Structure 1
Amino acid sequence: MRQVTVVEHLLLSQKERPMASGRFTRLLTELILSAKIIGREVSKAGLLDVLGATGEVNVQGEIVQKLDDFSNQVIIRRMERAGVLCAMVSEENADFIEIPRQFPVGDYILIFDPLDGSANIDANVSIGTIFSIYRRTSYTQQAVTLDEILQKGAMQVAAGYIIYGSSTMMVYTAGNGVHGFTLDPSVGEFLLSHPNIQIPEQGRIYSVNEGYWSYWDEPTRRIVNHFKSDENALGRPYSLRYIGSLVSDFHRNLIYGGIFMYPADHRDPRKPKGKLRLMCEANPMAMIVEQAGGLAVDGTRRILDIEPEELHQRVPLFVGSKKDVEVVLQYYREAGDDRP
């Protein structure tokens, strides 16, 4: 049976929506090409001078890895020429990136983490690119403003990620289900391998860095104890699986079922809301998991309903199987929201 490429899948889905234009397909096509370039470098990173740190620190206060910087530049350079964007936001850049006026300007906004899990690059752990797509809220020739970019996650047009692991795979949603495509190196195309992904309603895995136990509030500790005990829906402890790369942990739980948790903690007074970024990490994962039948919350609120106040805003994140995330909501509801 002939396999469907990601571009063919996009074109078929657009036929079902008469108002859709080819600009969205162009956007995804250019993003896919960027992913192929990044994936090529990741696959031979040990043979090239692209491992290790650059010696610089990004806007998040994190050490920049060489592959991180390379991936960021690939996406920016390709996407600014695509003719479909008016602005971009990268985890690596302090401010949003306007499209230079020498290039055609469109009405889409791309928000991305060029290489999630980059701290694990030297250890050859699976890493990935996360992306989120919005439409501009006004139709004008004037320069895009920060207010137009700071849209809540429910306004996303599409979201997805590319994971560079034992195979290179793209998972995305445009609001009509979640679909996975695996890169076939022999033909250089992403082929549909996981149509209509649905996360199991009840998981068996919990993913969290328990090394931060002493920095959590009491409700968070009770939540983790719930999954570790035999007094839960399974009647036995969940399996702990934690890689420390959001895209890897999320992808595994999406396929097998489970919950990923990155709670707020008080180890760093600069990060009272946790580590993960709302716009380039939490929002895209929340859209994907909801389209797959799961949930994503910050403990009390739906992630997609949070109104962003700044580009690099951080939030606690609990994301995964519906019944597992409902446990989190129940514990915080009973305790009251006394977190910072």
Structure 2
Amino acid sequence: MQLEVFLEKVSVNHGLNVLVSHLAQAGIEIAALIRQGALQGVTEKMTSTNVQGETQMKLDIRSHELAVAQLRASAVVAGVLSEEEDHPVLFETLDAPFLVSMDPLDGSSNLAINGVVGSIFSVLPNIGVSTLGEQAFLQPGQDQRAAAYLMYGPATLMVLTLGQGTHVFTLDHDSNTFMLTQQTVQIAEETSEFAINASNQRYWAPAMQRYINECLQGADGLRGRDFNMRWCASMVMDVHRILTRGGVFLYPHDCKQPVRAGRLRLLYEANPMSLLVSQAGGESIDGKQPILAIQPDSCHQRVPVLLGAKQEIQRLREYHWQDSDHPQATD
């Protein structure tokens, strides 16, 4: 089933359908650029940095430009918040029904090794950007109308939720059409696999130290079974693995850089991925509270993110609350 046919069947919001179709087209154009790699010079680093202080690559900028152009052309988007811009880009269509927050190229450091990268999108209702400006983007994740990511790997995938389950579409490069290949994905409640950057272990809070230590003890420890660890340095890739075969993705609070105790951006990484995971039967928290319930206070706000298999996320929540009940454990 083609993406457009699927949208007509499951969504009665024509404007949202138009928006998703333009997101898909942006993904097709970005995928074409990525396939050219060094031949087009898009894998080269630049001297500029984004609002996060991260060195940009040419493909970061081109992906941003392509996505913005498609969203502008949709005529249903009033403005876009991007990782690559300090402030939202507002369109002439300020009364259009939607706002979009995006990471146009997630995991761009993987380009140097020909690794998997992606694009992440969050769709919010326009609650008055013409009067509120960037404050209009500061809505909790539970208000999202849709979320999606594109994954550029051996196949180009679009993973989408409109609040009615999470679905996977695969790009047919011959026809440049996304086809439904997996409907209503479900994440198993139990797992024996986790994804985390273990090099930061010494900076984690006691709750996370406890959880990972128990996993590493494997069959000889409290959990009574062995665990596998995976880490791809691309949120899109790590989350897609969880949607495909289960597991948990963990980017916890740490004290390595106190001003960045949470590393992932709430509006265009944590929120859309949390909606996709929750619609697939998983859970997502910052340690204690659901990611989707957080009220944002700035456009590029960072948060810790723990998401995936429900039973493991519930265990992690319990450990974090136990820490707060016994603060001496953090001394």
Q: TM-score range by the shorter chain?
A: over 0.9
Structure 1 residue runs of 4 or more that deviate by more than 6 Å after TM superposition: none
- Structure holding more helix per residue: 2
Contact 1:206 1:260 in 2 (8 A): yes
RMSD: 1.6
Q: State the match for 1:249 in structure 2.
A: 238
Which structure 1 segments of 5+ residues have no match? Answer: 15-19
CA distance in 2, matches of 1:279, 1:116: 14
Per-residue CA deviation, residues 219-248 of structure 1 (Å, 9 max, x unaligned), is 211111122223355x22210011111100
> SS at 1:94's partner residue?
coil
Contact 1:34 1:75 in 2 (8 A): yes
| Alpha-carbon offset, residue 296 of structure 1 | 0.2
| Alpha-carbon offset, residue 304 of structure 1 | 0.3
CA distance in 2, matches of 1:277, 1:237: 32
Q: State the match for 1:283 in structure 2.
A: 271
Report whether the alignment pairs 1:129 with 2:126.
Answer: no
Contact 2:3 2:178 in 1 (8 A): yes
Report whether the alignment pairs 1:57 with 2:45.
Answer: no
Match of 1:98 among 90, 93, 104: 90
Q: TM-score, normalised by structure 2?
A: 0.94
Contact 1:183 1:191 in 2 (8 A): yes
Q: State the match for 1:11 in structure 2.
A: 8
Q: State the match for 1:161 in structure 2.
A: 149
Contact 2:87 2:134 in 1 (8 A): no
CA distance in 2, matches of 1:226, 1:89: 39
Per-residue CA deviation, residues 174-219 of structure 1 (Å, 9 max, x unaligned), is 0101100001112211100011100111122100000011111222
Q: State the match for 2:294 in structure 1.
A: 306
Which structure 2 segments of 5+ residues have no match? Answer: none
The AA in structure 2 aligned to 1:244 is A
CA distance in 1, matches of 2:131, 2:298: 18
Q: State the match for 1:173 in structure 2.
A: 161
CA distance in 1, matches of 2:108, 2:168: 22
Report whether the alignment pairs 1:83 with 2:75.
Answer: yes
CA distance in 1, matches of 2:155, 2:188: 23
The AA in structure 1 aligned to 2:189 is E
CA gap of 1:78–1:224, structure 2 versus 1, over 3 A, is: same
Contact 1:81 1:104 in 2 (8 A): no
Q: TM-score, normalised by structure 1?
A: 0.92
Per-residue CA deviation, residues 132-160 of structure 1 (Å, 9 max, x unaligned), is 0011124x9x4452332100000000001
Contact 1:87 1:144 in 2 (8 A): no
> SS at 2:52's partner residue?
coil
Report whether the alignment pairs 1:34 with 2:22.
Answer: no
Q: How many residues align?
A: 325
| Alpha-carbon offset, residue 114 of structure 1 | 0.2
| Alpha-carbon offset, residue 104 of structure 1 | 7.5
